[in-house]
Amino acid sequence: MMLMQKCLNIENDLGRKRSKKNEPRICDIDIIDYDKKILNGTKNNKLILPHPEMHKRNFVLLPLYEISQSWIHPVKKKKINKLIKLLNIEDLRAINLI
């Protein structure tokens, strides 16, 4: 998928180095959803859509809710507000402007 390659190129241009999985990184671009497509990843195209952990991540769901309050998870078939209600409240914390 061309979009995935463009994201990888941007990460590289910004100085991202790939050595270990889940290590701290300068830039991390995830494709969360793409036109409600469902992709399970293949040997040639590792992209999985929607992002498999997105429904557990407040830093994904809250901004997505600001963009589209009517968004529905294409696999779970749940509205975004329902997914947000399932988040662990202890994971939610304020972000201070700098």
User: Which residue type occupies 71?
Assistant: W
pLDDT at 78: 97
**Over 70: is that where the pLDDT of 91 sits?**
no
What does the pLDDT look like over 28-83, one tens digit per residue?
A: 898 989 899 999 887 777 888 998 889 999 889 999 999 999 999 999 999 999 99
Can you name the residues that pair with 49 across neighbouring β-strands?
39
Domain-embedded: residue 62: yes
Q: What is the DSSP string of the chain?
A: -HHHHHHHHHHHHTT---SSTT---S-------STT--EE--SS---EES-TTGGG-HHHHHHHHHH-TT-B-TTT--BHHHHHHTS-GGG-------
**What is the value of pTM for the model shown?**
0.73
Stretch 8-20: mean pLDDT, rounded? 90
**Over 90: is that where the pLDDT of 21 sits?**
no
Q: Which domain holds residue 72?
A: 2-14+27-91
> To which residue do tokens 């180095």 refer?
17
Domain-embedded: residue 72: yes
For residue 9, what is the domain's CATH number?
3.30.70.560
Domain-embedded: residue 79: yes
pLDDT at 95: 66
Domain-embedded: residue 97: no
Number of structural domains (the chain) is 1
